[in-house]
Structure 1
Amino acid sequence: MININNVLGSLYKHKNLIYQLSKRDILSRYRGSVAGIAWSVITPMLMLVLYTFVFSYVFKARWGEAPELPREMYALVLYTGMILHTLFSDCLNRAPTLMQNNTSYVKKVVFPLEALTWVTLFSALFQAMISFLILIVAKIIITGNVEYTTLCLPLLLIPFVFTIIGVCWFITAVGVYFRDIAHVTSILTTVLMFASPIFYPVSILPEKFRIFIYLNPLTYFIEEFRNILVWGLLPDIKNYIIVLSVSVFISGLGYVFFQRTRKGFADVL
């Protein structure tokens, strides 16, 4: 039975374990490097500068049919979409081999394997939050202010996190039995980059094609995060409630599927 209490209960029950494993996972990314964890700040800053230079100064790109934006603002528009795509793709690409890379935990009967997916998510979310902070600081530098709608950031993260965790639980379970799924997710995340309104607004697409781009789970989140962080617009409450409900269902469905298939993990691995 699909129950959101199972999802949240798993997170709360194993919060200390998830925290410790997430911390270790984050630090392991930068272990041995001279700058260490400072790379988590340096990398998004360099990417923001790169987007500003390439798309604004080299390609002199415009945002759809709207009047030309200041070059720096155009970079913020692109950067917002890339943060969300990177967060989603990082989790999605690690999911298929998550159990294979943690075989020692799979062999332990009492270990909460579903916690490993939370670890993957929080590790990627740590980097995303730093990127969001840099985005907000850049917005203040460029425009001289930051809109109050930025306070809606945590509210939008809730359904996005539920969606990611649900999809990743499903893919992690499938990846144990079908190893080819890792290649599929790699291709899928690349396709999603161009099938999402990262480099273009939905408004420039013909009306008959817009329904397809809205089937992409990233579309809603990219547009709404861009609205609150860049344009200073509040999310539509009705659409938010619908998306939140769907994301909760996805997380619950993914959790149930993972728990029902985990019994065979040890035998396969």
Structure 2
Amino acid sequence: MRHFSASPIEMFASLWRNRELIKASAKREVLGRYRGSFLGLLWSFFNPLFMLAVYTFFFSVIFQARWGGGSGSKTEFALVLFAGLLVFNLFAECINRAPGLILSNPNYVKKVVFPLEILPFVGLLSALFHTLISLGVWLIAYAIFFGIPHLTVLYLPLVLLPFCLFIMGLSWALASFGVFLRDVSQFIGLLTTALMFLSPIFYPASAFPEDYRYILYLNPLTAVVEQTRDVLFWGKTPDFFMLGIYWIVTMGIAWLGFAWFQKTRKGFADVL
């Protein structure tokens, strides 16, 4: 029986070794989503543009929502809100798909030579593509209404890279659990919906009741959402001490998820 290494080195070595396959698979997935549509890839630009307009209208016009500490303008609220949604949508797209990654590719399981461990990374790259398009829409909107974006935008990769490690760790674990426990996908759908409202996306963290604020900061999305807003909209440098801790923790989570996936993948074929 083939042995699958679960070492931290193998976690990165496999991604590098199969980089061409990952690149081709991610490209096929992105293009496949819009295959047959009239506008094709342009939908990846129009979707976030449409959602930005919808959120702006409903939250700043209908609900008269304003962001604490800012100018209170409708465009400010829309851009601050959308910055938080960039983070959440990246997380939700990957995590909601993770439990079905192996189930939807049974043919790959039977191919001993196929590196199943790359499937979560392919999904992450596809989600990152749409996140970058949404970020482009955000930057254009910011430039139109507020001028040249802050140079702190350049810090965004430092904020999102450890977040991607966190997503990968969860995706590896959920891809494995999804094979053996088919209810996982239903549970994850409920969980991501709850996390959306328990994250400071539609409101500032200061608006959360103080007695329950610790729940907000137990949410792994909270720190990323706030740091993303700081570097994108408020022009603040990230908290490097917190980011350092976050990098260490997410590296551990990524490796644990990868190790669990490697240890359990021998049983995938028996279940499928």
Q: Would the aligned equivalents of 2:6 and 2:263 in 1 still touch at CA under 8 Å?
A: no
User: Mind listing any 5+ residue stretches in structure 2 that lack a counterpart?
Assistant: none
Counterpart pick for 1:244 among 226, 243, 247: 247
Taking the aligned partners of 1:168 and 1:239, their CA distance within structure 2 comes to 23
User: Mind listing any 5+ residue stretches in structure 1 that lack a counterpart?
Assistant: none
**SS of structure 1 residue aligned to 2:122:** helix
Indicate the residue corresponding to 2:178 in structure 1.
Answer: 175
Indicate yes or no: 2:35 matched with 1:17.
no
Shift of 1:208: 3.2
Shift of 1:155: 1.3
Indicate yes or no: 2:165 matched with 1:162.
yes
Q: Would the aligned equivalents of 2:66 and 2:73 in 1 still touch at CA under 8 Å?
A: no
Taking the aligned partners of 2:180 and 2:190, their CA distance within structure 1 comes to 19
**More moved, 256-265 vs 136-145:** 136-145
Which runs of structure 2 are paired with 1:169-248 in the superposition (5 Å)?
Answer: 169-248=172-251
Encode CA deviations 1:150-176: one digit per residue, 9 max, x unaligned. 001111121011000000100110000
Taking the aligned partners of 1:2 and 1:105, their CA distance within structure 2 comes to 19
Indicate the residue corresponding to 2:39 in structure 1.
Answer: 35
**Which of structure 1's runs of 4+ aligned residues deviate more than 3 A?**
1-4
Encode CA deviations 1:155-200: one digit per residue, 9 max, x unaligned. 1121011000000100110000000001000101110110100011
Q: Would the aligned equivalents of 1:4 and 1:252 in 2 still touch at CA under 8 Å?
A: yes
Taking the aligned partners of 2:32 and 2:121, their CA distance within structure 1 comes to 17
Shift of 1:81: 1.1
Shift of 1:67: 5.4
TM-score, length-normalised on structure 2?
A: 0.95
Shift of 1:2: 7.0
Q: Would the aligned equivalents of 1:2 and 1:249 in 2 still touch at CA under 8 Å?
A: no
Which runs of structure 2 are paired with 1:143-158 in the superposition (5 Å)?
Answer: 143-158=146-161
- Corresponding residue pairs, total: 268
Encode CA deviations 1:105-124: one digit per residue, 9 max, x unaligned. 01111210011111111111
Taking the aligned partners of 1:83 and 1:4, their CA distance within structure 2 comes to 29
TM-score, length-normalised on structure 1?
A: 0.96
Counterpart pick for 2:66 among 46, 57, 62: 62
Q: Would the aligned equivalents of 1:83 and 1:131 in 2 still touch at CA under 8 Å?
A: yes
